[in-house]
């Protein structure tokens, strides 16, 4: 029975990982479509404000809001400002400036390398040699994918700094989340993140005259899709998978974002897709597989070490427990 439960759990995790890649990638495509007829701030305001209202109503009605402490509220508000407001504002601005969706998705793909460098000193965790190899192979694959799109954008080179700012915002939000002992449910987390982002966007849009939305059906369709998929679905899966599989494995999955976005961008938006891109896809897949296999082997080794020591404290076991298992929150 326990074996069947283990297989079912692994299947659920695999399906969640696939859904995460698809829904997160959709955000880049929706951003490209939505900002074609409206300012990035306008699109973001009407993506987040209605969603925040709906989530607040649901959180109050279900009792999820009553379970949030002041400490958790402050911490999740800070995470939301980095991981949604800061990240999305940078991404939408870069997309509106003309950077191809596959290139924009590069910021997600290079996060694993940055986090792998920082995870030791900031979280006290260990990234093994095989995982480093997978991260590097995946990064090379992403560079192949994105290199095929260079030269097809009219954006000023300085606009690419927006991608760096977006990546930095999401990394900061991720590390704040991993360092906190205060846990909230996914519904409460999304509600807080969407609300603080909506408030910040309202102030910024009102100050810059970008508050009034266009009356077109395509704009409102893009706003609804952006709220449903890259916000609710993708972010919900992001935090759930972070607690389920650990920070290294989750960020390895981000290597798949740029290839998937490049393919869908070529099909739906007519963006460039070449042999160089296909080579990059293969390297991305190899990199992800290497990291995930290394993560699984590390977890098994830590578990066996804990049993052999009779539950005694050991540095490797402690590191992997922290890396893969934070207190679970109710959905």
Could you write out the DSSP letters of every residue in 248-260?
HHHHHHGGGHHHH
pLDDT digits (tens, 9 = 90+) for 278-312: 888 888 888 877 776 766 666 666 666 666 655 44
- Tell me the C-alpha distance between 191 and 76, whole Å: 10
Whether residue 182 is predicted with pLDDT greater than 60 in this model: the reply is yes
pLDDT digits (tens, 9 = 90+) for 17-44: 999 999 989 988 898 888 888 999 999 9
pLDDT at 203: 95
- Tell me the C-alpha distance between 5 and 11, whole Å: 10
SS3 30: helix
Closest CA to 331 of 266, 239, 218, 252: 239
- Tell me the C-alpha distance between 104 and 90, whole Å: 10
pLDDT at 158: 80
pLDDT at 319: 31
For the chain, what percent of residues have pLDDT higher than 90?
27
- Tell me the C-alpha distance between 87 and 169, whole Å: 5
Q: Are the C-beta atoms of residues 280 and 145 closer than 8 Å to each other?
A: yes
Across 144-153, 199-208, 236-245, least confident range: 144-153
Q: Token digits for 177?
A: 């989340």
- Tell me the C-alpha distance between 193 and 51, whole Å: 11
DSSP letter, residue 82 = I
Q: Token digits for 277?
A: 């891109």
Q: Is 59 left (phi over 0), alpha (psi -120 to 50) or beta?
A: alpha
In degrees, rounded to 5, the angle at the alpha carbon of residue 41 between the alpha carbons of residues 37 and 45 is 105
- Tell me the C-alpha distance between 49 and 300, whole Å: 44
- Tell me the C-alpha distance between 319 and 321, whole Å: 6
pLDDT digits (tens, 9 = 90+) for 247-262: 777 877 877 888 888 8
Average pLDDT in the chain: 79
Whether residue 314 is predicted with pLDDT greater than 50 in this model: the reply is no
pLDDT digits (tens, 9 = 90+) for 91-108: 999 888 888 787 787 776
52 — pLDDT class (breaks 50, 70, 90): very high
Whether residue 139 is predicted with pLDDT greater than 70 in this model: the reply is yes
Closest CA to 255 of 129, 113, 128, 108: 108
pLDDT at 120: 62
Across 31-40, 116-125, 139-148, 173-182, least confident range: 116-125
pLDDT at 312: 41
208 — pLDDT class (breaks 50, 70, 90): very high
324 — pLDDT class (breaks 50, 70, 90): very low
Closest CA to 179 of 78, 314, 60: 78
């Amino acid at each position: 029975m326990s074996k069947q439960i283990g297989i079912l759990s692994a299947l659920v995790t695999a399906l969640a990982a696939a859904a995460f890649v698809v829904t997160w990638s959709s955000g880049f495509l929706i951003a490209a479509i939505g900002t074609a007829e409206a300012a990035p701030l306008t699109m973001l305001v009407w993506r987040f404000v209605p969603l925040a209202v709906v989530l607040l109503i649901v959180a109050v009605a279900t009792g999820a809001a009553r379970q949030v402490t002041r400490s958790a509220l402050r911490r999740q508000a800070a995470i939301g400002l980095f991981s949604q407001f800061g990240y999305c504002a940078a991404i939408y601005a870069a997309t509106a400036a003309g950077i191809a969706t596959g290139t924009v998705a590069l910021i997600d793909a290079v996060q694993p390398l940055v986090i792998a460098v920082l995870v030791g000193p900031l979280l006290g965790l260990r990234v093994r040699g095989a995982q480093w190899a997978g991260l590097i192979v995946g990064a090379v694959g992403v560079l192949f994918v994105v290199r095929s799109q260079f030269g097809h954008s009219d954006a000023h080179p300085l606009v690419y700094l927006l991608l760096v700012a977006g990546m930095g915002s999401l990394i900061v939000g991720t590390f704040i989340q991993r360092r906190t002992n205060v846990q909230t449910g996914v519904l409460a987390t999304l509600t807080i993140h969407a609300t603080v982002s909506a408030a910040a966007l309202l102030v910024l849009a009102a100050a810059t005259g970008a508050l009034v939305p266009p009356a077109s059906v395509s704009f409102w369709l893009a706003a609804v899709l952006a709220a449903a998929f890259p916000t609710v679905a993708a972010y919900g899966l992001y935090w759930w998978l972070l607690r389920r599989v650990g920070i290294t494995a989750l960020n390895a999955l981000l290597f798949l974002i740029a290839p998937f976005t490049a393919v869908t961008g070529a099909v739906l938006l007519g963006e460039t897709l070449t042999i160089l891109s296909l080579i990059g896809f293969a390297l991305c897949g190899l990199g992800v597989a290497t990291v995930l296999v290394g993560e699984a082997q590390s977890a098994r080794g830590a578990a066996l070490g804990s049993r052999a020591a009779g539950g005694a404290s050991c540095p490797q076991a402690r590191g992997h427990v922290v890396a893969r298992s934070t207190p679970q929150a109710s959905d």
